[in-house]
């Protein structure tokens, strides 16, 4: 049974913007991970107290602290979820659709019009836009958004 949740126009635009920003998002993820792994200011280390027979010993846990920060950082989690969804959809696309993505969303040149994009793909404008719709809707489905 397929879901009949109506996709909002805002969601469609947001997901399409994520395709445009995919490479910048990857850079942001790398920056956030670096910031978490190597914070500018050293914070006091987490210590676990272990009581022995006649002594109390403190054990540093910097690795666990970093792992926890990586796993619980909301922005990092969100950006990773979005890029993984884009990658999953992109990898499943036929070659023509992948070319549309590269031309329309990932090209460093000026933003192409739909007419130019369609011409490059050797299809009409309506077909190119239908492919775009399918790509964005597939991404929304993977993300579980509405």
89 vs 86: CA distance, rounded Å = 5
Helices (H) and strands (E) in the chain, counts: 7, 2
Answer yes or no: is 4 within a domain.
no
The low-confidence residues of the chain, meaning pLDDT below 70, are: 1-4, 40-68, 70-72
pLDDT for 104-119, tens place per residue?
Answer: 999 987 778 999 999 9
Find the domain containing 55 and state its range: 9-143
Number of domains the chain is built from: 1
pLDDT for 65-91, tens place per residue?
Answer: 666 676 667 888 999 999 999 999 999
Answer yes or no: is 2 within a domain.
no
How much is the pLDDT for 4? 65
Answer yes or no: is 106 within a domain.
yes
How much is the pLDDT for 1? 46
């Amino acid at each position: 049974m397929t879901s009949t949740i109506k996709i909002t126009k805002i969601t469609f635009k947001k997901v399409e913007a994520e395709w445009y920003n995919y490479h910048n998002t990857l850079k942001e993820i790398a920056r956030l991970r670096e910031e978490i792994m190597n914070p500018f200011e050293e914070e006091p280390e987490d210590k676990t107290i272990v009581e022995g027979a006649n002594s109390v010993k403190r054990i540093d846990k910097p690795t666990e602290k970093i792992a926890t920060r990586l796993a619980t950082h909301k922005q990092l989690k969100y950006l990773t979820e979005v890029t993984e969804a884009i990658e999953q959809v992109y990898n499943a696309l036929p070659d023509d659709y992948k070319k549309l993505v590269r031309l329309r969303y990932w090209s460093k040149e000026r933003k192409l019009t739909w007419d130019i994009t369609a011409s490059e793909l050797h299809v009409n404008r309506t077909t190119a836009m239908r492919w775009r719709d399918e790509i964005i809707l597939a991404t929304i489905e993977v993300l579980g958004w509405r």
